[in-house]
Structure formats: structure tokens, C-alpha cells
Chains A and B, each alone.
Chain A
Amino acid sequence: MSSPKLNSGSSFKFPAIHDFPPLYTRQPTEATWQNQVKEWERIILAYYRTHRLYRLNLVEDTVPGASPVFDNQRIKRRLTFETLEEIVNEMVRKGTLGRKPICVAEWVSDTKSSAKISHTQALIYWRSPDEWASLLWNWINERGLNNSIMTVYEIANGELAEGTEFYEMDGTILMRALEVLSAKGNAQIFTGTGDVDSIGVKFFGS
């Protein structure tokens, strides 16, 4: 997990259920398991939001002592990689269900080991792409950045972005938000040959 920049001083208070020992054992009863997933989702989203984190590394984060979220040393219980994978799977699945699916997590496909999607890293959306998009769009209009072209890097790391909600945000998640704006006709994305950061975006008038 990358170190948080903003709100780094804010302390996170885990809900009481985080100290409930069976929360760390995969529950065999379906209804209980669904509730367990919901509780974990709530904890993960709240923690990630407070610390402004975007990526969950399943292997690293389930190593003993690595993360206060998944290794609760007070009650000596730890979530295993397998259970966390199942939980994230359920969270990802949620983004595909219902008429208005809520995107809370997305598997990151490892392009190097091109074979199948490896479930080792996930993007965590404590704001949905839609929410990020409207946040961005408001900012563009406030700052009068309409009709200007910016790179993805500039948007998230430029001087203008300092102090905003999306300052130093994850490039991939930012791209998802930009795609939402593009689909609405509010922006055009110029994909170059380089990496995500060098992709250019033109914002249109409001």
C-alpha cells in the first residue's frame, strides 16, 4: 500500500465487528457469508477512503503483520489470501449485478503474465467511476479548464490538482472516470503510445 499524502494524520477507527473473531474465518452458511462479505467491503472501503488508497495487493497484504486491516493482532486473527480473494471476487461481482450496478472493486489484469487474469491485485473504488467523473467535471468547470488539453499525469499530479479530492489518485481509476466523461461527450481521450500518464485529454465546454 502506498503511503497516504492527504489526511495522513487522520486516524482510522475500525468498527467493532473488526474485533469479532469469526470475521476472519470463511463462514460456511451462505446468508452469513454474504453478510461477512458486506462487512469486509464496508471495512475495506472505509479504510481505503480514510487513507486514500486505491490498490489492494492480495498476496502482500495477507502476509502476517503486513496490514492492520487483515491482520488483527489484538485478537490474533488473520484473513487468509484465499478468503480475501473470495471477498474481493464478490465485491467485483457486485459491479455487474442489477440494473444499477455499484462498482466497488475491479481486478487488475496482469499484462505481463498474459495468460489468464491473475487475482493478485484489485482496484478499490471508494468512489465509483461516475462519482470521480462528476468530481472532475465540476473541477474543470470551476477552474475554467474547458477546451484545454491536459495529460492524465497533470490532472492528478499537477499544481492545479493540489488540495483536490483526486490529487495523486491512481492513474487507472482516473482513466475510468475520464472514460465516463468521454462517453458523455464531455471529454475526448487521445491515446498515445506511451504509458497511462502521458495520455492526453481534451475537455469540452459545459
Chain B
Amino acid sequence: MTPRLSLTAVTRRFEGVTALDGVSLDVAAGEFLALLGGSGSGKSTLLRVIAGFETPDSGTVSLDGADLAGVPPHRRPVNMMFQSYALFPHMSVAANIGYGLRREGRPRAEIEARVAQAVATVRLEGMEKRRPDALSGGQRQRVALARALVKRPRLLLLDEPLGALDANLRERTGFELRAIQRESGAAFVMVTHDQAEALALADRVAVMDRGRLLQVAPPRELYERPATRFVATFLGAANILSGARTADGALHCHEAACTLRAPTPIPEGTAAAAIRPERIRIATTTGDNTAAGTVEEAAFRGESSLLLVRLAGGALIRVSHAEEGGAPPPRGTPVHLAWDADAVVPLAE
């Protein structure tokens, strides 16, 4: 089956800076994909390339198999929800939402019906006559979403769609966004710098850094099996231990004074591995996949406590201690730590 969106080796340079470096990516119809990366990672440039505001120096962008090269933004069956929302300040909510349909030259009755439907979808009934500056941040966000969706795009691009909302609204709006995406059946490509948002909303997450795509995977896989040191760092919270590969396929970590052993031999050239804090437990065993240290700080986190443990080799690692396992050891307590072999995730550079 032809993917909805297909990017092949897309490259874009600005005055010597490579914003996109050979990005290839497929998005299926009905899929929700998140482009995750920091500022300067190229994620926004990629979105603008798909929308047609940037022209790639090389590579192709195609939609349902049709090459989009040379198609100007206003002729692409792709719509974008802008980070600033870009609502037209001189038009009412209804006029904003109907703008794209008027450009298509739809009959008036159809425009009115579809606008009313879109207004209902984003629950803005009664607000149709208001100007954008008389709306709250959450309401503006919904107008922007309705304005893009009412055109029934085959692909909707969302630039930090929750970025301007406060923490309370984010969670609820995120769920709404998912529901709307499922109902509309459009493919969504969302840009975000917030890994929690990406993991929570998307079917697949594509991690970008310096114009390159590092890993594309479903949220759970990405979280549990980050492929590179950057991805593991960016997703946060994991302990990353550097070391040297031993002849028998383990990783000896000098700073942690321990040896890490995965279920299968660690590939050659690997110099780091990740272990998530919740996979580490306090134990009494010794040998591979154990380490000794002293509790330096303990922070209560509700269902668990986060311990910072200084290992004998000098490294500081994070351990998540479940509350049902009893009170965590107090500061200064010497502890032994242990983890299972399948908790060790070898990281490429």
C-alpha cells in the first residue's frame, strides 16, 4: 500500500547550515506521527518542507504517491496548524474557520454547514462571532485546529500544537487531539520538543537531531530500547553508563565499577548502555549487573522515591524505589544495586 506521505533523502541547507540531512520517512494513512527534537534539530524545517514553505535542495516529498515538487503551498492537499496558531485577527472565529473553504470556492450553504460542524467538533458553539483576541489560549488552539481540519486534508501538520497551553490544559487537549485524529482519519504529523507529549500522543515517534532522523519507533519501543546515546539522553531519566567492551561481549564500566551484560553479546564498538531507574533494585547479590554505592539524596515522588546513589567508581545513578517496597534507605546508607540483563540497553553513538 502506498504510504500517505513519503519522504526520500530530503536535504535542505541554509547558508552553510544543514537543516535537513537526507531524511527518509513514510507515514501511513491514519497514522499519528510525532517529530521529536530540540531547537535546531530540523523538525520545524521538515514540517515546512512538507507544507511547501521550504523547497528541499534534494530529495522528494510525495503524497499518496504523487510528487509534490513544485506544488505551491496553496495547492497542496495538506494543512498546517501553526505554532502561533496564525489566526486572522480581523476575522471572526467562523470567518477564520471558513477561510479555506471560501478559497476552494465552495457554495455558501456547504461552507456554513461544514463550519458549523467543525465548530461543534472542537466545542466552540456560541463563539462563532468572536474575534481571536477575545478568546482564551485553549479556545484559540481549537479554532486553529478546526480551521485546518475543516478542509479535510489528507495530511495535517501540527507545529507544537500544545506548546502555548498551560499544564492543566495540555493533558486534556492532548486526549481531544487524539480523539479528533481517530475520527477524522487524516494522517497527523506533529512537531514537538516535549518527549512526554510525543510518547503520549503519537503512534510512532521520530527523533531528530541536527537535521538527521535518529530513530523512528512506537513510543514504548523508543522508551525501552533507545538506539543511540542521544535518543536515550533526549528521552531523559535513563542512566547512561560509559564503558569499554570486553572480549566476551560485556561492557565494563569503570566509573560505576561494574560490568554490564545484556542477554545477547553487546555489539562491537559500543561504548555506552542505558538502564532505566525503575529497572534497578536494591539487593544483596554481587557479580555482573550489580554495583555498590551510597545513597546521596532521596526525593519522594508519590508512588515511588527517586534515589541518587553514588557508586564506588564515582558515577551517580538514579534509582526508582517503589513505595510498596517499604520506606527507602535514608541518606548515607551503603547499598547494593542489581538489575536484570534485559534492562541493559546497548547504545550506539
Asked whether A and B interact, the reply is no
